[in-house]
Amino acid sequence: MATMEPWNAEPMRPVKWISLTVPESRDIALKDGLIVWRVTSPLSYRRVAVPKGLLARFLRLAEQKESAFLRFAQKWGCLALCEHGLPATHYYSCSLSLHEPVEQWRIFSREAHAILRIRDYLNRGERAGPADWILAHGMSARLGWRWAANFLAFATPRASRVLGRNELSQCVQAWLDAADIRPRLTWSERENSYQISWEPSKPWYPNLFAHIAMELMLSVANVERLAICSGCGIPYPSSRKKRPAESRRSFCPDCGRKAAVRLAVRRFREKAKQNRNGESE
């Protein structure tokens, strides 16, 4: 009697991530604090290869001028927000507003940055402050998740490292749910095989937000490491060969060893001051 092999008898083929769908740059403009864009048809989108460190570039927008947001959108696409200020993929009946507030982009950038800061705090065995947790829960609160509303009512970090990591995973899940990313199966004549890719539920919309959500997930899970510099606080992509340990502080190439020494000296002085105060008492 023949037996059927289990579905996972052979190693799975790599799951592919689709390219960025970007409107023509001439169709994207900045007007009164809004990124205004238009689409003549889905065929007018450009297919752009995803750059290395897309999330890091998005996070750096938080403190930039409005013109920097426009340049970013013209190069990598729009967030495809609806009238709720969320990605239009967050609800099946939502449609594109085509008028995206720069401040909403800025808020998303700060919230994603807070998620990565909390990741680093937890990896070092430290506790993140309430301000970072409130930012990290921003997306889940907008989606109306009750557990997030309960958390924000107290705005206190979890004492347990395990609970903190579970909380953080839910914050990231909110971004994935807002993007409504789903697996898609297609046949490739070139590869002569079925191909599995990940796409938002509305593939005819610009997919920048979905890419950011996916990279945020990979960064928190430490699949693709995006480090936060302990010196200047700016995120930077770290190479696999020189990936910083999760439990240690890391520094970008611009700050380097000087910042590490400066921080070590400051901590030494603070500790010495605490010891002197303890002796005097």
Per-residue model confidence as pLDDT tens digits over 201-214: 888 899 999 999 99
Q: Where are the domains of the chain?
A: 16-248, 251-281
Residue found by looking up tokens 């959500």 in the block:
213
The whole-number pLDDT of residue 197 equals: 78
- Percent of the chain beyond pLDDT 90? 45
Give the pLDDT confidence score for residue 140 in this predicted structure. Answer: 93
**For the residues 123-129, what does the mean pLDDT come to?**
86
DSSP H/E element including 112: helix 102-123
Q: For residue 180, give every residue at least 6 positions away whose Cβ sits within 8 Å of its Cβ, in sequence order, or none.
A: 87, 89, 90, 200, 201, 202
pLDDT bucket at 3, cuts 50 / 70 / 90: very low
Residue 252 CA to residue 189 CA, distance in Å, equals 43
pLDDT of residue 24: 92
pLDDT band at 4 (very low <50, low <70, confident <90, very high): very low
User: Measured between alpha carbons, how far is 139 from 136 in angstroms, rounded to an integer?
Assistant: 7
> Quick check: pTM over 0.85?
no
Q: Note the pLDDT tens digit of each residue in 133-191.
A: 999 999 999 998 877 666 665 555 555 677 888 889 999 999 999 999 888 888 878 87
Q: Between β-strands 193-200 and 16-17, what pairing exists: parallel, antiparallel or unpaired? A: parallel
